[in-house]
Structure 1
Amino acid sequence: PENPFRNNASTGPLPSCTYQEDFKRYLLPAVYSLVFALGLPLNAAVILRMWRSRRPLTRSAIYMLNLALADLLYVSSLPLLIYNYGRGDYWPFGELACKLVRFQFYSNLHGSILFLTCISFQRYLGICYPLATWHKAGGRRSAWTVCGAVWAVVLLLCAPTFEFAATGVQRNRSVCYELSEPQRSAHYFPYGMALTCLGFALPFLALVACYCSMARILCRAGAAPGPAGAQRRKDKAVRMIAIVVAVFAVSFLPFHLSKTAYLLVRTLRGVPCPVRNLYAVVYKSTRPFASMNSVLDPILFYFTQPRFRRSTMTLLQRITTSRDRSAHR
């Protein structure tokens, strides 16, 4: 909730504005429940599959493992949010839990963006520089080093969430602010914009550059038939591009665009209350869909890891056969 905010550090008091947020009681619990029901088993299956793998993990698989770990940590916090919004924005779990839940959301969001960028860059090197050996130096150890660096960057970027996220009282009930307390909106604004630029805009631009180069190479290669192995690599790259684009289109881009607009509106003086309420509704409507990446990310693993896809199909066939046998008894 981001209801009235009373003052701005640079412009003085702002008029009171109460937002109409009844939609959150229905939209957010429904979406979060769906993400929890699908994201928990899907990401657990990815982690278990990699853990039980007898073959060494590729660098892309290492990035996907870390991506699944980030998603699993996030979806484990969703029951608290489902209860909170189902009770009409009532937070009875205390301030520490509030800070942890908000931190988990943003660390998963930006961790997912960075790990998807790593996966895309790895595929870019394989497509655009297939014969080069310089990018293969270090092997799996270099991939784990990159993952450690990504986690360090995510912790550094999202650590201020513990400072800004807080509990408060509105309409005689305890609430958990996502961005900051209303009276600290002007102080949060520089951090919120820096988080968007460093944690989304820069990786997004790097990803677009990689995909443009990959698309040019793939289109050129598609003009003439090649070996079966090359065709499989091309198909794998195309699937990865399609899924990552879907993740950004559904989860990341709408959320960051609406968040940026909302940060501006909630900080500026003289914006009418209905306009502020409209931007708040748009932003908070995209927020639960930002968590959908926890469901879409395992799909990326499924479609880009043939061994996992084959083992999953085998498991499904065994389950179907077992059910058929039980039905004929």
Structure 2
Amino acid sequence: MDSSNISNATYVKDLGPCYFDQGIDKFIQYVLPVIYSLLFFFGLSLNAMVLFFITFRTKLWTPSTIYMLNLTLCDILYVSTLPFFIYNWVNDWPFGEAVCKICNFLFEANHYGSILFLAAISLHRFIGICYPVHSLSWNSTRRAKLVSVGVWACVLTGQAPVLYFTDIGDYDNSSYCHVLPNQTLSGAFLVYGSVISVGMFVLPFMLVIVCYGLMVRKLLEPSWGSEEGQQGFRAAHRTKQKSVKMIIIVLMTFIFCFLPYHLVEFWRRLILYDSEEEHESTPAVQNNKGPRTCPPIRLPSN
């Protein structure tokens, strides 16, 4: 084996889970910033428009309005962090440790906040369609406010450890702000991330699937909405159409936006943990650049 092959093998072993081929490196460096720039532009403008109409044009506030307001706030806070990470993909992180921790905290908290509020909207629609009598007392604005406060408390508490795991790390002579630059915490991060993924993604996703499955079964009943005459039948038909559209939108959001993000994050946590286990059982590779850490990969999730 010649010296160049030895050098390349040492480099790959040194990087461990952080080794990427040139194609993935180019994707991270050029494609992801473009995707996130488009996401920031359209996400901020569209959600700001929704926020304006909800705040200034809504006369009658309903539980759905309250949930949509909170979901919109989550999306706005989420996209507000993207310019920092876009800049960090092409330059060193210049904003300091505190801003690094806050950005990652807002990124993760509002990501999971969007998931939980979508689940709350789904549960609200399920009660209204499958239990219309009970919905008169359960689906009230007061309960919607209490649920919203509970969701925010759950999200902020559950994502508080992100402030501990997040730091600025070095990779290939560049500084990156991301969660877990210190791989010695990979074991704790694997446990924490798995608990959060199950509690704030898997369980809400299962709740959404169950609710929408029961809603579809109820809507397909021939007798649903036919007991109130022709006018009631037309109203029921419009409700069916709106419900089916919402079911498709929410399920597609979970499948195409949230699911890939969590699969990639789970894969990353496992590789970081395996790398740390291998590092503890084998001598460390020494070089003159100091320890390396993984560069951040944040797939679009909202």
The two structures share one fold, judged by TM-score above 0.5: yes
Task: Find the counterpart in structure 2 of residue 19 from structure 1.
Answer: 19
3-state DSSP of counterpart to 2:57: coil
Q: Is the 8 A contact 1:250 1:289 kept in 2?
A: no
1:250 matched to 2:256: yes
> Which structure 1 residue ranges, 4+ long, deviate > 3 Å from structure 2?
221-226
In the superposition, relative to structure 1, how do residues 179 and 229 fare at CA in structure 2: closer, same or farther (>3 Å)? farther
Structure 1 residue 79 and structure 2 residue 83: aligned? yes
Partners of 2:33 and 2:223 in 1: how far apart? 45
| Deviation larger for 228-237 or 15-24 | 15-24
Is 1:186–2:190 an aligned residue pair? no
Aligned position for 2:204: 203
Superposed CA offset, 1:150-209 (max 9, x none): 000000110000000101223333221234422321221111111101110111111111
TM-score of the superposed pair, with normalisation by structure 2: 0.81
Q: 1:250: Cα distance to partner?
A: 1.4
Other-structure match for 1:59: 63
CA distance in 2, matches of 1:136, 1:114: 22
1:177 corresponds to which letter in structure 2?
Answer: H
Query: Structure 1: how far apart are the matches of 2:257 and 2:58?
Result: 33
CA RMSD of aligned residues (A): 2.4
Instruction: State the distance in 2 between where 1:123 and 1:60 align.
Output: 9
Q: How does 1:1-329 map to 2 (within 5 A)?
A: 16-17=15-16, 18-20=18-20, 21-87=25-91, 90-130=92-132, 132-133=133-134, 136-137=137-138, 139-221=140-222, 227-268=233-274, 269=277, 284=297, 287-290=298-301, 293=302
> Any idea what SS the aligned residue of 1:289 has?
coil
Query: Structure 1 unaligned runs (5+)?
Result: 1-13, 272-279, 294-329
Structure 1 counterpart of 2:120, which letter?
C
> Matched residues in 2 for 1:171 and 1:133: separation?
59
Change (3 A) 1:236 1:138: closer
TM-score (norm 1): 0.74
Q: Retained in 1: the 8 A contact 2:63–2:140?
A: yes
* Structure 1 Cα separation of the partners of residues 73 and 269 of structure 2: 30
Equivalent pair of 2:127/2:134 in contact (CA under 8 Å): no
Residue range with higher mean Cα deviation, 220-229 or 92-101: 220-229
Task: Give the distance between the partners of 1:212 and 1:29, measured in 2 at CA.
Answer: 37
Question: How far is the alpha carbon of 1:31 from its aligned partner?
Answer: 1.1
Aligned to 1:10: none
Bigger drift between 25-34 and 110-119 goes to: 25-34
Q: Say which SS state the counterpart of residue 68 (structure 1) adopts.
A: helix
Retained in 2: the 8 A contact 1:77–1:104?
yes
In structure 2, runs of 5+ residues without a counterpart are 1-12, 227-231, 280-293
The alpha-carbon deviation at position 15 of structure 1 amounts to 6.3
